[in-house]
Structure 1
């Protein structure tokens, strides 16, 4: 198991299956995101994962927090900091990154991301011009949902970390023409000079 040290304590990501089993108790929509969303689209493992990312809509956050009653849950309300997320507290709009562990002395086990929406439409939090129907945001996978790979790549496009490049390389061959066009169009809005754009058009 990969162990990652952070200023807020170590990460030892829970197995994806354990997190999915926990999330099945949530009555609102949720989906696997991050590197695992790409790996599931590819259909086989090709790199290690330091964390497990689960996403849901901001408007459903209290249902998520109640599911985690008894867990140690912290939110990044101010960038570069973490603070406890109290039961029944509505997080401020700038908070979208949440870390979860079983108890305060244990390692962090998975991460929650809050996504924005307006009615039946998903809104990209970094640029509200980029939207799509919630009905096409995720893909069903073995009884749960994962984020569509082209949307996950948009989130990953910002940093161009080695693992994000690896994810792009791995999933590019399985993207449909429609998925490539959507991502290329979204990058044209947020990152007009992004190096992935040309490769998506090939």
Structure 2
């Protein structure tokens, strides 16, 4: 399976390369990356970041214009402080100049649980959340992808249980 080529993904990875906290592709691109092919045209790139790192997002993107979506109202407000991101607000629209745009979705978690945005009584263990995605994606990974991920994990997270699964 060939790797997906996309200027949108390349742009997002380049923009996020120095962000020191976990982030994930979301939405349609996450699905396409998981199955290894582009299924449709994508208007933008959605990235999930844990809400606890919202202040770091504001700092990291301080040179960008940041708006927050107001749930249920279909409008955006300028976002300048952490108070502007109080729940139920979660969607950030980041602009740099006329061309550059990224959408960031703040994702809540409590201890080891990822919380469903619309109902925090629905949750999933973080490890299960990540592990299930990994297990679903593993059969689609060719040897080259497995090797790359294995080497990257050995450098960054040498105790990861995924390393053994990638090499078997």
Same fold (TM over 0.5): yes
After superposition, where does 1:21-60 map in structure 2 within 5 Å?
21-60=14-53
Partner Cα separation in structure 2 for residue 138 and residue 20 of structure 1: 19
Please name the residue that 1:18 is paired with.
11
Please name the residue that 2:69 is paired with.
76
Please name the residue that 1:121 is paired with.
113
Kept in 2, the 8 Å contact 1:137–1:148? The answer is yes
SS of the aligned residue for 1:137 comes to: helix
Please name the residue that 2:79 is paired with.
85
Partner Cα separation in structure 2 for residue 108 and residue 96 of structure 1: 20
Partner Cα separation in structure 2 for residue 89 and residue 126 of structure 1: 20
Moved over 4 A (4+): none
More helix by share: 2
Over aligned residues, Cα RMSD in angstroms? 2.6
TM-score between the two structures when normalised by the length of structure 1: 0.57
Kept in 1, the 8 Å contact 2:68–2:93? The answer is yes
Partner Cα separation in structure 2 for residue 148 and residue 84 of structure 1: 34
Partner Cα separation in structure 2 for residue 137 and residue 25 of structure 1: 24
Gaps of 5+ in 2: 1-6, 141-168
Gaps of 5+ in 1: 1-13, 140-146, 150-170, 175-202
